[in-house]
Amino acid sequence: MRRKSIALTLAVIMLAVLSFPTIASGNQGLVRKIVVFNKAVNEPARDALIKKFGGVKVKDLNLIEGKAVLLPPKAVVALKKEPGVLRVDDDIVFYATGKRIAAGKKAPTQPPESLQWGVDRIDADLAWATSTAAGVKVAILDTGIDLDHPDLGANVKGGINTINPRKKPDDDNGHGSHVAGVVAAVRGNGIGVIGVGPNASLYAVKVLGASGSGYASDVIEGLDWCIQNGIKVVNMSFGASSDNQSIHDAVIRAYNAGIIMVAAAGNSGPGSDTVSYPARYNEVIAVAATDSNDAVAPWSSRGPEVDIAAPGVNIYSTYKNAGYATMSGTSMAAPHVTGAIALKLQVNPLLSPDATRSLVMGTAEPILGVPEEVGAGLIDAEALVNAQ
Predicted local confidence at residue 272, as pLDDT = 77
10 domain-assigned: no
> Which neighbouring-strand residues pair with 308?
287
Active site annotation includes 142: yes
256 domain-assigned: yes
Predicted local confidence at residue 110, as pLDDT = 84
- Average pLDDT per block of 10 residues along the chain, 388 residues long: 32 29 53 98 97 97 99 96 97 93 68 97 99 99 98 98 98 98 98 98 99 98 99 99 98 99 97 93 98 97 97 98 97 99 99 99 95 96 97
Predicted local confidence at residue 5, as pLDDT = 35
C-alpha 85, offset from chain centre = 27
Predicted local confidence at residue 24, as pLDDT = 32
2 domain-assigned: no
Of the candidates 130, 101, 103, the residue with the CA atom closest to the CA atom of residue 312: 101
> Which neighbouring-strand residues pair with 69?
33, 57
- Tell whether 57 and 131 lie within a shared domain: no
CA distances from 67 to 34, 58, 80, 220 (A): 6, 7, 14, 10
209 domain-assigned: yes
Q: Which of 89, 91, 123, 142 is catalytic?
A: 142
Predicted local confidence at residue 23, as pLDDT = 32
**DSSP annotation string for 225-284:** HHHHTT--EEEE-EEBSS--HHHHHHHHHHHHTT-EEEEE--S--SSSS-PPBTTTSTTE
Q: What is the dihedral of CA 123, 124, 129, 131, to 10 degrees?
A: 140
- Tell whether 106 and 175 lie within a shared domain: yes
- Tell whether 229 and 317 lie within a shared domain: yes
Active site annotation includes 331: yes
Spatial distance between the Cα atoms of 118 and 122, rounded to a whole number of angstroms = 6
Q: Are 271 and 299 in contact (CB under 8 A)?
A: no
Count of CB atoms situated within 10 Å of the CB of 348: 14
Residues 107, 109, 115, CA angle at the centre, nearest 5°?
85
Predicted local confidence at residue 22, as pLDDT = 31
- Tell whether 25 and 107 lie within a shared domain: no
Domain boundary among 91, 113, 128: 91
Q: Which of 201, 217, 246, 331 is catalytic?
A: 331
321 domain-assigned: yes
Predicted local confidence at residue 12, as pLDDT = 29
Predicted local confidence at residue 100, as pLDDT = 83
Q: What is the CATH number of the domain that holds 182?
A: 3.40.50.200
Q: Residue 101 class from Cβ within 10 Å (0-12 exposed, 13-18 middle, 19+ buried)? A: middle
- Tell whether 139 and 267 lie within a shared domain: yes
- Tell whether 224 and 206 lie within a shared domain: yes
Instruction: Name the E strands within 38-162.
Output: 56-61, 66-71, 85-90, 93-96, 99-102, 137-142, 156-161
153 domain-assigned: yes
Predicted local confidence at residue 159, as pLDDT = 99
CB within 8 A of 94, min separation 6: which ones?
207, 208, 213, 214, 215, 216, 219, 238, 239, 240
Q: Give 3-state DSSP helix, strand, coil % of the chain, rounded to 5.
A: 35, 25, 40
14 domain-assigned: no
Predicted local confidence at residue 28, as pLDDT = 66
Count of CB atoms situated within 10 Å of the CB of 388: 4
Predicted local confidence at residue 102, as pLDDT = 76
Count of CB atoms situated within 10 Å of the CB of 300: 33
- Tell whether 39 and 143 lie within a shared domain: no
- Tell whether 235 and 300 lie within a shared domain: yes
Spatial distance between the Cα atoms of 69 and 327, rounded to a whole number of angstroms = 35
Which H or E run includes 327?
strand 323-328
Q: Are 320 and 173 in contact (CB under 8 A)?
A: yes
SS3 120: helix
Of the candidates 311, 253, 318, 325, the residue with the CA atom closest to the CA atom of residue 118: 311
Q: Are 325 and 102 in contact (CB under 8 A)?
A: yes
Q: What is the CATH number of the domain that holds 27?
A: 3.30.70.80
Spatial distance between the Cα atoms of 3 and 274, rounded to a whole number of angstroms = 70
Domain boundary among 91, 108, 138: 91
CB within 8 A of 302, min separation 6: which ones?
265, 269, 270, 271, 272, 273, 274, 275, 288, 372, 373
DSSP conformational letter for 347: H
156 domain-assigned: yes
Strand 306-311, strand 284-290: pairing? parallel
Range of the domain at 312: 94-386
Predicted local confidence at residue 21, as pLDDT = 31
- Tell whether 266 and 327 lie within a shared domain: yes
Q: Which of 149, 175, 178, 336 is catalytic?
A: 175
Spatial distance between the Cα atoms of 232 and 258, rounded to a whole number of angstroms = 7
Active site annotation includes 224: no
CA distances from 278 to 90, 129, 233, 249, 340 (A): 15, 34, 15, 11, 20
- Tell whether 78 and 208 lie within a shared domain: no
Predicted local confidence at residue 166, as pLDDT = 97
How many domains is the chain partitioned into structurally?
Answer: 2
Of the candidates 149, 158, 212, the residue with the CA atom closest to the CA atom of residue 185: 149
- Tell whether 176 and 142 lie within a shared domain: yes
- Tell whether 131 and 43 lie within a shared domain: no
Domain boundary among 91, 126, 149: 91
SS3 124: helix
